A and B are shown apart, each in its own frame.
Chain A
């Protein structure tokens, strides 16, 4: 903390003021307590392309991309123009705009199993609504989810501990990722009661390496859901449109009944979406869905523009290539200093941890040293690649990592 006092002077001044009037100073995933207090900036001022600048003027290559939403790069002029044009016509009006229909048509055409789409603002809006749709469709109560998976902040799924009552999760049951037996045990225990299974395409818990699905795991889940009449909900909020524009299920060879998108849909504009099979249309029409800003047209215009660019430029392929170059480079650079590193998750949504670092201290020091040199790598949360990241970003990041590994080695970590 002392070492960074001058580097983050403005951040700390703002945080001191914030702590007087805002619980936690900064709450939620951006809380300094969740990252590296004193070693990371607390407030950002501006962002452009693959970079952002904190309020003290420090520049970072941004591998968090606003924790995911920025997929084309910060302030992409094509998206900003589409949103601004729409906003000049209407920001918040009494009715949806035509762009909502266009966007729904676009999504339904892209995601081939889907027949309809609805929109919200955040991921939680969609996951919670999809759970309700599953219950309405099946007239059952139980929801199965993977232990440690994040699906939002509503009481049925929040990773927080406060403000909950046991009844919030009476009908929520957890099984273990990549463990079909633990899933089957729940199915057997609650046969005929399970409304839905909600899962992310790969497992991306915080504070741990990501886990890809084992061969046959998704097929097992899908087959069981079909057999038992259970609604399979894919929470594709974090990975959606980064792995495959048709939905991440395409990468892993299965088909859900409902799919939730959010982060990469509108390049940073607030929008989420849920899409579903025709058979679920009636249930979807019955479950009430609304919010003060949910019909706001500019974010939908941004999404429409974003999806067209993602498709026209085959952005998932670019993200994969950039992510692979970054991860391979980091592993090789770490090895040069004698560190064994574990890359995890798909290259477009990568994460990197040290082997044999149970306390995460090595990871935390490494990310702190890299941040000091100008790249933002989170120590506890998976990273995000955007289309704005190029070879020069990767080259610079690897040079910073090389120095950071050297510092760690010098400290005996």
Chain B
């Protein structure tokens, strides 16, 4: 469905679906982990009067948390959803306002480097996808973004809400066989349309599982005909088929938002 995008939804996608990928990136990617090997800090990104997230950065790894964490090292504020979106879109004029910790130039430089690495992996830069490790990272991070992004889309995007309105309620799980912690879930019909990364809170009503990282990569890069892959057994769909089918189209909206 060709519908306009909503800046509020895009802002939540960046905060709640893209930024959590830093956790997986710093866990799985030695290059990303090395950037903050000796860092012990927390960074808040917030929209003034709007949502906030906190990134706890310790021993090279990031932990993402919703909301405004206690005693942050740095607070990066944006005046509006559009301001944050412009920053994530790479607009140089859209630098955040350092409400606190602006003097921690070293930390901010390293965070910029980490963000650049995330962008490189998520965009599938040639130097990333030229090797198997890079393709694996790209597939994992895209899966996480897509899964977590369903919540923001379900809450605010009209096209997705229209699709979800036709789907049965239920919990859907998306995972890559043989990959640890490469699993996301979305509970359609739950209060707030919950989504998560990791093990779902109960047995999923439908399980979508990619046979291996190669299939997942092809799906995330739109290099595969998914229905043909289901028929060939490369993607397993077990359970409530219409929910998986509808969510697949909802996930397509993410590409429109993130232009990937």
Contacts and interface: CB of A to CB of B under 8 A. Distances in A.
Contact of B231 (A19, A148, A361, A364): A19
A161 to B, nearest CB: 4
B168 A162 contact: no
B105 interface: no
Interface in B165-206: 166, 168, 170, 204-206
B130 interface: no
A165 B158 CA distance: 12
Contacts of B245: 33
A19 B1 contact: no
Given A166-B1, A166-B3, A359-B206, A33 B231 contact: yes
Interface string A14-47: 0110110001111100011110011000100000
Contact of A360 (B3, B240, B246, B249): B240
A15 to B, nearest CB: 6
A206 interface: yes
Interface stretch (B20-28, B39-47, B148-156, B222-230): B222-230
A24 B238 contact: no
Contact of B225 (A1, A19, A42, A360): A19
A195 B241 CA distance: 35
A289 interface: no
Given A19-B231, A358-B168, A359-B205, 18 more contacts: A15-B228, A23-B228, A24-B231, A25-B232, A26-B231, A27-B227, A31-B227, A33-B237, A34-B241, A161-B249, A162-B1, A207-B241, A207-B242, A359-B206, A359-B240, A360-B239, A360-B241, A361-B239
Lowest 8 CB-CB distances: which A-B pairs, in order?
A32-B231, A24-B227, A161-B249, A33-B230, A19-B228, A25-B228, A359-B239, A359-B205
Contacts of B238: 361
Contacts of A162: 1, 249, 252
Contacts of B2: 164-166
B11 to A, nearest CB: 23
A358 B166 contact: no
A280 B174 CA distance: 51
Interface string A337-360: 000000000000000000000111
Interface residues of A, number: 34
Contacts of B1: 161-162, 164-166
B234 to A, nearest CB: 10
A310 to B, nearest CB: 34
A320 interface: no
A19 B228 CA distance: 6
A389 interface: no
B107 to A, nearest CB: 44
Contacts of A148: 166
Interface residues of B, number: 28
Contacts of A34: 241
B206 A32 contact: no
A42 B242 CA distance: 20
Given A161-B249, A164-B1, A165-B2, A359 B225 contact: no
B233 interface: yes
B66 interface: no
Contacts, number: 83
16 contacts: A1-B233, A18-B228, A23-B225, A24-B227, A25-B232, A31-B231, A32-B230, A33-B227, A38-B233, A161-B163, A162-B1, A165-B2, A166-B1, A207-B242, A358-B205, A359-B205
Contacts of A24: 225, 227-228, 231
A359 B237 contact: no
Of A16, A37, A38, A380, most buried by chain B (CB within 10 Å of CB) is A37
Nearest to B248: A161
A161 B242 CA distance: 12
Contact of B232 (A15, A159, A364): A15
A190 B240 CA distance: 36
A130 B52 CA distance: 53
A359 B188 CA distance: 13
Given A161-B1, A166-B3, A207-B168, A37 B237 contact: yes
Contact of A161 (B168, B225, B246): B246
A15 B230 CA distance: 11
Interface string A143-167: 0000110000000000101101110
Interface in B57-80: none
A244 to B, nearest CB: 31
Nearest to A360: B240
Contacts of B3: 166
A12 B1 CA distance: 32
Interface string A120-137: 000000000000000000
B180 to A, nearest CB: 24
B205 A206 contact: no
A351 to B, nearest CB: 15
Contacts of A16: 232
B172 to A, nearest CB: 10
Contacts of A161: 1, 163, 246, 249
Contacts of B231: 15, 19, 24-26, 31-33, 37, 42
Contacts of A166: 1-3
A33 B241 contact: yes
Most A C-beta atoms less than 10 A away, residue of B1, B231, B249: B231
Interface in A174-222: 206-207
Nearest to A165: B2
Nearest to A5: B233
A18 B225 CA distance: 12
